[in-house]
Chains A and B, each alone.
Chain A
């Protein structure tokens, strides 16, 4: 049986699944980054998360994306990666 051939209109991306990095056992003495994606009200939420984190023996550093509509700039991502053991990004709605 003959087949019809059409060309694939997609980018033909084959995504390789990236495995999650190993997580620490606890946050005690960890440096936690809180990344505010800059949607309104996110800072209130993150303020409370920061309060709660500080009771768990970690240090907290706050970061902020310039705009919620674009991915975080390269230099911000590098800074976070260099300084933090773990990052929490919030709050998308």
Chain B
């Protein structure tokens, strides 16, 4: 701590809003004759009376001196603090000052109060102010009369909806959501394979509307999406419908207030909405992936704005996705990326047996992409609580439901060949005698989400599988 501005002697730091500081005011007057030359007040420059108090309401001095408690008494020699004491203790104060018989009318000891520098908003504001000069991104300047929301539209930085202007203060605040260094490289973002730092993710997270405590989830999402296996490059360039979907698991989901219940796949929840959107903006702004340019999707789907939800873990009949699919612990948090092509509802209001409900789900899954497409697409089945109850009451594990669906979706080749059913699409005649599964191993994923009322589940079709397409990728969320 740099005390070079102070002459040899004693410095006291106090605040009026501290009973112990009020208590020791007379002791400070006693110490004037013993070398006390400076009193610094954190909240009231008229306290204590009888001194020319330094007004430290901005707390610059208190931060510089690392004050944690008030009152603090510092002994200065040759520009350094060589001794100190906090709160009131007669013996300690006499020790530090060499004076005797201090505060005769006072109790022997009284604890101090917290320094104002530790108040949460103040500590945060300080941390933000310190981060701002360290930001590396180029500054874009706009005139005072320019509408910055319009300017961001004009520069092509938005997805069609307005974005939150990424001021240095907002970005610095966002960076408080992670302990990672802002200059850490998170990923190479396709299609241009641009290095993306934590700071760049933070800028796009601000624009998306994220809160700082979402940032660790956004960072994990960007990492997962930019892996070779997820193949965001291919996903972006395809004429197909798909865009990235993010499923969040683990304690982080509840901690940041995500929605896994009513309307989980829809609008209204800030974390759901902005985390998915932040990824899309990173790919757009950092990676250079924009519709009409690299993005050639024939139709796309609304989920390409944002598609992100939390699995409903607390009353699920099954272990969560990151546990069953990736072997993680329930106490870990994770994001799973899936190349989603919209959503296909399954209504089943009458099935009471798991066998019957599984057949309903399979009937829907059969037509994903095209009824004659086999071993082409992946799918996610989002089982709602009312449907999950059917499986719970029959004690069907997730694996059992999965295996039943796979078995029901072994398709006879005769149904798949070109011309079958009067449909030109299909497979060559050579497969007519085979049986081919609709989904590859690992290509059918089951999760639990949704509100408690409604006998509906959702099928979320994926994109092309394997080396040609996209692999489902899970990454841990690290705070």
Direct contact of A and B (CB under 8 A): yes
Residues of A bordering B, CB below 8 Å = 1-13, 66-71
Q: A12 — which chain B residues lie within 8 A by C-beta?
A: 137-138
Stretch binding the partner chain, chosen from B97-105, B190-198, B348-356, B364-372:
B190-198
Give 21 pairs: A residue, B residue, CB < 8 Å, sorted on A.
A3-B142, A4-B141, A4-B143, A4-B165, A4-B167, A5-B140, A5-B142, A7-B138, A7-B167, A8-B139, A9-B157, A9-B200, A9-B204, A9-B207, A9-B286, A11-B200, A11-B287, A13-B288, A68-B468, A70-B228, A70-B231
Known: A1-B143, A6-B152. A11 touches B189 (CB 8 A): yes
Distance A6 CA – B207 CA, assembled complex (angstroms): 11
Distance A6 CA – B164 CA, assembled complex (angstroms): 10
Q: B195 — which chain A residues lie within 8 A by C-beta?
A: 11
B233 in the interface (beta carbon within 8 A): yes
Other-chain residue from A4, A10, A69, A70 in contact with B146 (beta carbon distance below 8 A): A4
Distance A14 CA – B167 CA, assembled complex (angstroms): 23
B415 in the interface (beta carbon within 8 A): no
Other-chain residue from A2, A8, A13 in contact with B194 (beta carbon distance below 8 A): A13
In the complex the two chains form, is A6's CB within 8 Å of B194's CB?
Answer: no
In the complex the two chains form, is B285's CB within 8 Å of A10's CB?
Answer: yes
In the complex the two chains form, is B203's CB within 8 Å of A9's CB?
Answer: yes
Distance A12 CA – B136 CA, assembled complex (angstroms): 11
1/0 contact string of B287-322 vs chain A (CB within 8 Å): 110000000000000000000000000000000000
List residues of B (184-212) whose CB comes within 8 Å of A's CBs: 189, 192, 194-196, 200, 203-204, 207
Q: Which residue of A lies closest to B467 (CB)?
A: A67
List residues of B (251-287) whose CB comes within 8 Å of A's CBs: 281, 285-287
In this complex, the interface size class of chain B, counting residues with CB under 8 Å from chain A, is 35 or more
Q: A5 — which chain B residues lie within 8 A by C-beta?
A: 139-142, 167-168
Q: Which residue of B lies closest to A68 (CB)?
A: B468
B171 in the interface (beta carbon within 8 A): yes
Distance A5 CA – B142 CA, assembled complex (angstroms): 6
Distance A24 CA – B474 CA, assembled complex (angstroms): 49
In the complex the two chains form, is B142's CB within 8 Å of A4's CB?
Answer: yes
In the complex the two chains form, is B166's CB within 8 Å of A7's CB?
Answer: yes
Q: B238 — which chain A residues lie within 8 A by C-beta?
A: 69
Other-chain residue from A7, A11, A70 in contact with B168 (beta carbon distance below 8 A): A7
In the complex the two chains form, is B467's CB within 8 Å of A66's CB?
Answer: yes
Known: A8-B139, A9-B281. A69 touches B166 (CB 8 A): no
1/0 contact string of B232-260 vs chain A (CB within 8 Å): 01100110000000000000000000000
1/0 contact string of B126-154 vs chain A (CB within 8 Å): 00000000010111111111101000100
B71 in the interface (beta carbon within 8 A): no
Shortest Cβ distance from B310 into chain A, in angstroms? 26
Distance A68 CA – B464 CA, assembled complex (angstroms): 12
Given contacts A7-B167, A9-B207, A66-B467, 11 further A-B contacts (CB under 8 A): A4-B165, A6-B152, A7-B168, A8-B137, A9-B137, A11-B285, A67-B467, A67-B468, A70-B231, A70-B234, A71-B233
In the complex the two chains form, is B468's CB within 8 Å of A69's CB?
Answer: yes
Other-chain residue from B138, B148, B231, B467 in contact with A8 (beta carbon distance below 8 A): B138
Q: B286 — which chain A residues lie within 8 A by C-beta?
A: 9-11
Q: Which residue of A lies closest to B196 (CB)?
A: A11
Q: B143 — which chain A residues lie within 8 A by C-beta?
A: 1, 3-4
In the complex the two chains form, is A4's CB within 8 Å of B467's CB?
Answer: no
Q: A2 — which chain B residues lie within 8 A by C-beta?
A: 144
Distance A11 CA – B222 CA, assembled complex (angstroms): 14
B216 in the interface (beta carbon within 8 A): no
Shortest Cβ distance from A41 into chain B, in angstroms? 15
Distance A93 CA – B204 CA, assembled complex (angstroms): 32
Known: A11-B286, A69-B234. A6 touches B166 (CB 8 A): yes
Shortest Cβ distance from A36 into chain B, in angstroms? 14
List residues of B (209-227) whose CB comes within 8 Å of A's CBs: none
Distance A67 CA – B285 CA, assembled complex (angstroms): 26
B469 in the interface (beta carbon within 8 A): yes
Other-chain residue from A7, A13, A66, A68 in contact with B137 (beta carbon distance below 8 A): A7
In the complex the two chains form, is A7's CB within 8 Å of B288's CB?
Answer: no
Q: Which residue of A lies closest to B165 (CB)?
A: A6
